[in-house]
Structure 1
Amino acid sequence: MILYETIDELMEKAYAAEGKTFGEIDGTGRIKNLRSKGTLGNIIEESYFGYEINSVSKPDFENLGVELKVTPFKLNKNQTYSSKERLVLNIIDYMKEHDLTFKESSFMSKAAKMLIMLYQHVPEVPISDFRIVKSFLNEFSEEDLAVMERDWEIIVSKIKSGEAHLISEADTMYLSACTKGANKSSVREQPFSPIKAKQRAFSLKTSYMTNLIRKYLTPEHMESFSMPGELKTKTVDQILEERLSPHYGKKIDVLCDEVGIKYNPNNKSMIPHLMAKLLGVKKNDIGEIEEFSKANIKFKTIGREPGGNIREHMSFTHVDFDTLLSEKWEESELYRIFSEQKYLFLIFRFEEEYKKGVKRIPYFEGIKLWNMPQEKIDGELYATWSETKKIVKEGVKLNKAGNRVNNNLPGSSFNNFCHIRSKARDGKDKILLPDGQKITKQAYWLDRHYIERILNE
């Protein structure tokens, strides 16, 4: 094994890999038979840095306290870069982790200092031609570490409560506990419950990695709404509340006037533009703010009636009928969305009761940062997906009723939680079902009564 005595010596070697393909680096010949990118890191470890592959809990370059991570990024259609996947670190030992402090944690012992080597994943290109683009030494900022410590505490608190089986990636902001195993039978014992929990590993969210990758590959950086050092002592929830609560109770047209943007209820970009202005950033969309990007926070606007009820269900992703029959639950788009994402609900309330044709201007009532509990994901959400898959496999029944075409996909009365309904430009906006029938584009929707319960908690 080659021993690197200083970090400078190690980094000099890492920088020299930039521009090289894995085929050029490979000294073992294994890449010729490699079908998966999963062992590309092993080629870097063995052929480039000259050390044997291991699965010990200590950093790869133990004498320097540096862990090596080789991870892919991709070029998006809009010419931006993003991480292709989360950065998986180490398996969580439920029986031991709860006895540690954050500084002693398996995450910190493994990832406090990482040599990250980025390669570009290009579809239809042989793995051997994937190229190392950038190498850098990553040490987390004090603010990011403060957020990650709170994330770690959330994960550990569930272990201590005997709820390791209810851990979800969406519980946390930057550091998550992703499932890690061949299948559903990959489970582990937990110390405070007889229920076995899915095997999980500490990981940096894909959204966090995307932000990190852009920092090194692009000159432009995202804008932050928090003050320097603020995240060391406050959560994102607290900062958002402090920034936005002075505006609660004001009508939306008044808020638009105060920040200098045109009030237009038909303009879908108005709300994100308004929120960005209220948070004090120059961006025109809150989705482009650094804290939201890192933590994979998406926003949803909710309109409440004077009594607090909600008139409309909440839509999410379209149903992909092309992949539905072949996909597994935990690899599905629906599972990924709710197991990984947090949602910032922007809540507006009307003062007048709804009357068809009468325009109403709501006031800004408040916000709520939410993610779907894992028991709901494994329960009602899975039931909707499973029933949809079953019906599509058997053949969707389409029945014309006047100008409408009804179907037997799970409707709003299926489980009063999640259902399928159309989400299309018009009746002509159709797609093909696997059996060749045409149907208007369908989407997954959360029931409005469930959203009401979330807001009332």
Structure 2
Amino acid sequence: MKKFSKPTSEAELEARVKALAGQTLAQLALNIHWTVPDNLKRDKGWIGQLIEVHLGASAGNLSEPDFQNLGIELKTIPLTAQHKAKETTYVCVTPLLNNIGLSWEDSCVFHKLSRVLWLPIEADPAIAIAERRVGKGFIWSPSEQQMDELQRDWEEFMELISLGQVESITAHMGESLQIRPKAANSSVVTTGIGENGLRKQTLPRGFYLRTSFTNRILQAIVQS
């Protein structure tokens, strides 16, 4: 597989992003001798991995931003035919233990979302996976209002978790963020805190950005 070095500056990263715009997933896969999957349900992370390789992302599954040296996180946005976010955007794993004293500024969500490279990808089911094109990416940081929204949601969720009420959290809660189970199936469990303060087995959770939040970001870019 062809290797791409990590970008050494934001300008270099932006140049690589610009070069990807308009290319199909088949073209990108051919560059690194990958096979385009027939079904993304079995290869849900394939597109993200394809883009990571071409842009030289280095963090992998770490809790740090994908471009560690630049402090920039990569997020692909699957778009509908109406150019809206097709699904929520995964941010990071929700910590269910050892949260006492954890501040917003020290959280994984804060570090992942402080500086983000958004890369739109066609996701209309009418377009074959191989023929879907990469859109125009852009680098974004939350406005003061957006950061306040994210912090407020995060703090409310973390308070519930620390009080042993993780099971009470539903996908309907949160203005910009939501917490949902993140596991291949219900047999995958992790350790959390129950209402009695004792450790218990529960489903792993993840933080996700709501589509309403990402659509506001997209709309602001279109209007700028």
The TM-score with structure 2 as length reference comes to 0.87
Question: For 1:95, what is the secondary structure of its paired residue?
Answer: coil
Q: In the alignment, which residue of structure 2 is the partner of 1:204?
A: 209
Larger radius of gyration: 1
The Cα shift of 1:52 comes to 5.9
Higher strand share: 1
Match of 1:3 among 3, 6, 17: 6
- The 1:171–1:165 alpha-carbon spacing in structure 2 relative to 1, beyond 3 Å, is same
* Aligned residue among 53, 66, 80 for 1:60: 66
Cα distance in 1, alignment partners of residues 143 and 55 from structure 2: 27
- For residues 55-106 of structure 1, the C-alpha deviation after alignment (integer angstroms, 9 at most, x for no partner) is 1111111011011111201124xxxx32100010111121134431000001
Structure 1 residue 100 and structure 2 residue 102: aligned? Answer: yes
Aligned pairs for 1:301-316 within 5 A: none
Distance 1:120 1:168 in 2: 29
2:16 is equivalent to residue 13 of structure 1: yes
- 1:90 is paired with a residue whose SS is strand
C-alpha distance 178-211 of structure 1, shift in aligned 2 (>3 A): same
Letter in 2 for 1:206: T
2:92 to 80, 90, 93: 90
Deviation at 1:35, TM superposition (A): 2.1
**What is residue 52 of structure 2 aligned with on the other side?**
45
User: Sequence identity of aligned pairs in percent?
Assistant: 25
Evaluate the alpha carbon distance shift between residue 16 and residue 174 of structure 1 in structure 2; reply closer, same or farther with a 3 A threshold: same
Does the 8 Å CA contact 1:176/1:205 hold for their aligned counterparts? yes
User: Contact conserved, 1:88 with 1:203, CA < 8 A, in 2?
Assistant: yes
Aligned residues of 1:168 and 1:178 also touching (Cα < 8 A): yes
Match of 1:110 in 2: 112
Q: Name the residue aligned to 1:359.
A: none
Q: Deviations over 1:98-134 (max 9, x none)?
A: 4310000011122211111001212232211111112
For this pair of structures, how many residues does the alignment match?
214
Correspondence for 1:153 among 155, 161, 176: 155
Indicate the SS of the match to 2:179. Answer: strand
C-alpha separation between the residues in 2 aligned to 1:58 and 1:34?
31
What code does the residue aligned with 1:40 have? I
Q: Deviations over 1:7-29 (max 9, x none)?
A: 12211211221111111112233
Q: Contact (CA 8 Å) 2:74, 2:118: kept in 1 or not? A: yes
Counterpart Cα distance in 1 of 2:79 and 2:27: 20
**1:347-366 correspondence to structure 2 within 5 Å:** none
Determine helix, strand or coil for the equivalent of 1:209: helix
Whether the 8 Å CA contact 1:72–1:85 is kept in 2: the answer is yes
Show CA shifts across 1:406-441 (max 9, x none): xxxxxxxxxxxxxxxxxxxxxxxxxxxxxxxxxxxx
Structure-1 separation of matches of 2:138 and 2:48: 15
Q: CA deviation at 1:181?
A: 0.9
Deviation string for 1:279-300 (max 9, x for gaps)? Answer: xxxxxxxxxxxxxxxxxxxxxx
Q: Indicate conservation of the 8 Å contact 2:121/2:133, yes or no.
A: yes
Please state how far the C-alpha of 1:51 moved relative to its aligned partner: 4.7
- Once the two structures are superposed, residues 278-324 of structure 1 have per-residue CA deviations (whole angstroms, 9 ceiling, x without a partner) of xxxxxxxxxxxxxxxxxxxxxxxxxxxxxxxxxxxxxxxxxxxxxxx
1:75 aligns with 2:66: no
Deviation at 1:34, TM superposition (A): 4.8
Amino acid at match of 1:65: G
Please give the alpha-carbon distance, in whole angstroms, between the structure 1 residues aligned to 2:70 and 2:190: 32
Letter in 1 for 2:49: N
Q: Structure 2 unaligned runs (5+)?
A: none
- CA separation of 1:157 and 1:82: change in aligned 2, threshold 3 A: same
The one-letter amino acid paired with 2:46 is T
CA 1:53 to 1:112, structure 2 compared with 1: closer, same or farther past 3 Å? closer
Amino acid at match of 1:69: K
Q: Is the 8 A contact 1:42 1:53 kept in 2?
A: no
Q: What SS does the aligned partner of 1:72 have?
A: strand
Change (3 A) 1:135 1:157: same
User: Secondary structure, in 3 states, of the residue corresponding to 1:170?
Assistant: coil
Which whole-Å CA distance do the structure 2 matches of 1:50 and 1:6 have between them?
A: 12
| Aligned residue in 1 for 2:27 | 24
Residue 216 of structure 1 corresponds to which residue in structure 2? 221
* 8 Å contact kept, 1:91–1:201: yes
Q: Secondary structure at the match of 2:149?
A: helix
- Output the amino acid matched with 1:112: S
Distance in 1, Cα, partners of 2:56 & 2:150:
32
Q: State how 1:137-216 maps to structure 2 within 5 Å.
A: 137-191=139-193, 192-216=197-221
Using CA pairs under 8 Å that are at least 6 residues apart, name the structure with larger relative contact order, 1 or 2: 2
Question: C-alpha separation between the residues in 2 aligned to 1:133 and 1:3?
Answer: 21
Q: Is the 8 A contact 2:92 2:108 kept in 1?
A: yes
Contact 2:65 2:72 in 1 (8 A): yes
Cα separation, 2, equivalents of 1:180 and 1:83: 20
**CA distance 1:35–1:142, shift in 2 (3 Å):** same
